[in-house]
Structure 1
């Protein structure tokens, strides 16, 4: 029997066994049973785990060409699974969901290896991906080989048989599909800066992508209504705690590498606090660690979906956790959901400007080069977060750009019609007419008393956005853009 044929046979036999399991466990549905002796349940779970390991051993034997030995191991494995399933149905307190999760996990494995080899028909034509971060869509297979275990818990165990996560998967695959694709493209160009921070902390890359996709979609300069900022949406105080400060007027929450470093440190801190419970950790990231610790108390083994926890959370946090997990799962297993991410060469390069230009002007002259229909403005902004996109940078300045654009820049943006057009558009003069003179000149400054929960970002937005955080910070001699309740701020008048 061929390797591929053996795999098909394994899948079929496992599917049949799954039906037997469902029938065996159905008798427990709706039954209220007393708490079982711990030893009997533990023994069943041990048999389940052994059967699961035997199944994966059989697949390894098949890959090695030992189909006869693999068949024998598989028969033993499936016999163990069927026996454990039948006994679970007759054992009070046996958790059938645990059996369903194992079957869901094994059925999802195209070749039995969750951590990684490709299936025989998987496209592996893309470039390999070094750990330092040359990204490409063909490197998804390599991303699947990245860490998929989180402190001994497989991500599949958080996905399988989970209604909220499956509902979130549907949203990402339908209404949010465009957002997911944009987030993936944006991440590929940021990956070289962000992934090493997570990798260094021993965290899965899929988790980083899931958080970023949900938080900002990979828009480095994103700011929420509550004042959370950057690609991973740190609140000011939390960011400050993890070293995200003001550097020469630049808020490092907008720096992709620094934001990823701080996020990885935060996640590891909260995993430690919540006994490696990823779902509680994500809930803390969204809803506040103080609130989650009060809800959980000393029982860190409690499920996020326990009514005592889930019922006390805001709808935003209830949705946030499964949505992050769903995006992470799709990042790892797009083919299983009829999803194909675009091929992206995200390797970073740089250019030295031959003539002065702003990021906006570069966007115009680069056009839709390298099959980028939406243009390069977002990518250029993400790679150069400290620059005002409208501010011309002098000749000789060095800018980060995708390496694939280095030759395009030399061909299109140094000489010829495109830089001339870009400059002409950028320097267009818009007529300005004075407003009718009021009876009395308005006060050029307004004053605002800071309320509890206010952030400088929120205050500036609330007053029309006619000034910037930096301008208000300078007017009031603010350190690190920090404001306190009761403080009176001077703001430029919008009139």
Structure 2
């Protein structure tokens, strides 16, 4: 791809204007000055966001990408110039935006077609790979803070080897899943001064970025909170039938609070805090206290943790390390357009149905995982009412409007998700083949005083009436409330209310007996 913006002709003057204005000193601000400062900061942020959108459009061969990028940079230049003249305007905010763009430009590859460096967005917000985590705590010279916080040793190297070999696909999928949830999850770690790379490492090891994952021990969600721990940090049933441990934003907030609590107890030791996250905070606290604060890698400390924790700690650090330094290991994470958007369902649909009608849309795996991660309140087979707002990406909006509101593919998707496999099974007595028509037998006329024999139709009960639907039904393995509602022509809401099944998850179990009052057949 040819260079979207040429340097230094474009960004160099921007840098000069930014650095020259850093010496501006502001006195106490009036309300008018403060409002002007706020407006300039918002203008700078909006211009940066438009520039990043232009980069995504350029990656997709958008015809107007270059023009949009130039316009955004011009707005940034104007905002910097105005900031230099505005009382109280801090150029540090302007410098932060500029620094991100300049860093991305310096790391971008050169092409034979254009000797200038292509400005490639490498911040996590764009969905591509950062050279250093976006957390403010990591914006130190050379991004060295994470390196200083962990011990890079053979155990971590073994973890890196595993992520790059047998688990490479899992790591890449984790990264793709995380990019779609990053705008929901990363702010909690940034506010807490925690490395975003650590968030990614935990998520990759715990759930691979799949929101609905659960363990046999009872931990669920993208960051795998147990019920009791989740409750301590504000997670759990919210009164509507939804467990907020599945919510990526709520889970990230809880994880940040949990880790900061461990850091305070364990002297900001990442390895011991991760051991607490996996192996229990009580054990980690006791081992740390009794060892006098020795390293997790000290044999006397290390051997007091279970095998799962011994594996967990280096694997999380290894995933975080690769998140920060992919190029060093020949690792390329796919660029994903993750710009968030919403759709309002034009007609009722399930996530299964939307996955089918949306298609692949140029992706490898389609949108099943994205829909589930961004809409954790809904089960995959749950019929979601028309008018419901759902979280998607900007690209999915166009696909939905084209393929899912009406038409052949939309109807096909509906047919596939409402089909009942049980109707394919022919049971004995359910269908009787019709015999070929034969000439009627000759019947002799009865004697005048003889009584006619009763006919077969008169001796058997009438079969022209449709049998009444059973008033109660036993749930079979693999069935959901949605499939049962479809089978017996029930309204799912009425069926749920009659059986006190909480929305929106509509969880039922095999063997449970459901009342079918109000169902059609």
Q: TM-score, normalised by structure 2?
A: 0.59
Give the conservation status (yes or no) of the 8 Å contact 2:136–2:193. Answer: no
Q: Corresponding residue for 2:402? A: 411
Q: Corresponding residue for 2:174? A: 183
After the TM superposition, which parts of structure 1 deviate over 6 Å for at least 4 consecutive aligned residues?
A: 433-436, 464-468, 474-478
C-alpha deviations, 1:183-230, integer Å up to 9, x for none?
000000011111111111111110000000000000000001111100
Match of 2:421, SS state, is: coil
Closer, same or farther: CA 267–476 of 1 in aligned 2, 3 Å: farther
Give, in whole Å, the separation in 1 of the partners of 2:405 and 2:480.
34
Deviation at 1:491, TM superposition (A): 7.9
Aligned counterpart in structure 2 of residue 229 of structure 1, from 205, 209, 220:
220
Q: Corresponding residue for 1:291? A: 283
Give, in whole Å, the separation in 1 of the partners of 2:278 and 2:319.
16
Q: Corresponding residue for 2:330? A: 338
The answer to whether structure 1 residue 388 and structure 2 residue 388 are counterparts is no
Q: Corresponding residue for 1:122? A: 108
Q: Corresponding residue for 1:280? A: 272
Give, in whole Å, the separation in 2 of the partners of 1:435 and 1:290.
58
The answer to whether structure 1 residue 352 and structure 2 residue 328 are counterparts is no
Closer, same or farther: CA 400–269 of 1 in aligned 2, 3 Å: same
The answer to whether structure 1 residue 255 and structure 2 residue 247 are counterparts is yes
Aligned counterpart in structure 1 of residue 299 of structure 2, from 300, 307, 320:
307
- Aligned residue runs from structure 1 range 11-50, under 5 A: none
Give, in whole Å, the separation in 2 of the partners of 1:149 and 1:285.
26
Aligned counterpart in structure 1 of residue 211 of structure 2, from 191, 215, 220:
220
Give, in whole Å, the separation in 2 of the partners of 1:394 and 1:238.
34
Match of 2:219, SS state, is: coil
Give, in whole Å, the separation in 1 of the partners of 2:413 and 2:509.
34
Aligned counterpart in structure 1 of residue 312 of structure 2, from 320, 333, 350:
320
Closer, same or farther: CA 173–410 of 1 in aligned 2, 3 Å: same
Give, in whole Å, the separation in 2 of the partners of 1:192 and 1:120.
25
Give the conservation status (yes or no) of the 8 Å contact 1:159–1:326. Answer: no
Q: Corresponding residue for 1:89? A: none
Aligned counterpart in structure 1 of residue 138 of structure 2, from 137, 148, 160:
148
Q: Corresponding residue for 1:20? A: none
C-alpha deviations, 1:148-181, integer Å up to 9, x for none?
389x983223566501000000000000000000
Deviation at 1:494, TM superposition (A): 7.5
Give the conservation status (yes or no) of the 8 Å contact 2:122–2:130. Answer: no
Match of 2:422, SS state, is: coil
Q: Corresponding residue for 2:46? A: none
Deviation at 1:467, TM superposition (A): 8.8
Deviation at 1:126, TM superposition (A): 3.7
- Aligned residue runs from structure 1 range 97-108, under 5 A: none
Give the conservation status (yes or no) of the 8 Å contact 1:149–1:204. Answer: no
The answer to whether structure 1 residue 265 and structure 2 residue 257 are counterparts is yes
Give, in whole Å, the separation in 2 of the partners of 1:465 and 1:308.
48
Give, in whole Å, the separation in 2 of the partners of 1:277 and 1:229.
25
Which blocks of at least 5 consecutive residues in structure 1 are unaligned? 1-112, 437-443, 446-463, 479-489
- Aligned residue runs from structure 1 range 346-495, under 5 A: 346-369=338-361, 371-431=362-422, 493=511
Give the conservation status (yes or no) of the 8 Å contact 2:163–2:171. Answer: yes
Q: Corresponding residue for 2:127? A: 136
Is the deviation greater in 196-205 or in 261-270? 196-205
Aligned residues: 341
Deviation at 1:122, TM superposition (A): 2.8
Which blocks of at least 5 consecutive residues in structure 2 are unaligned? 1-98, 110-117, 429-472, 482-494, 503-507, 514-521
Match of 1:350, SS state, is: strand
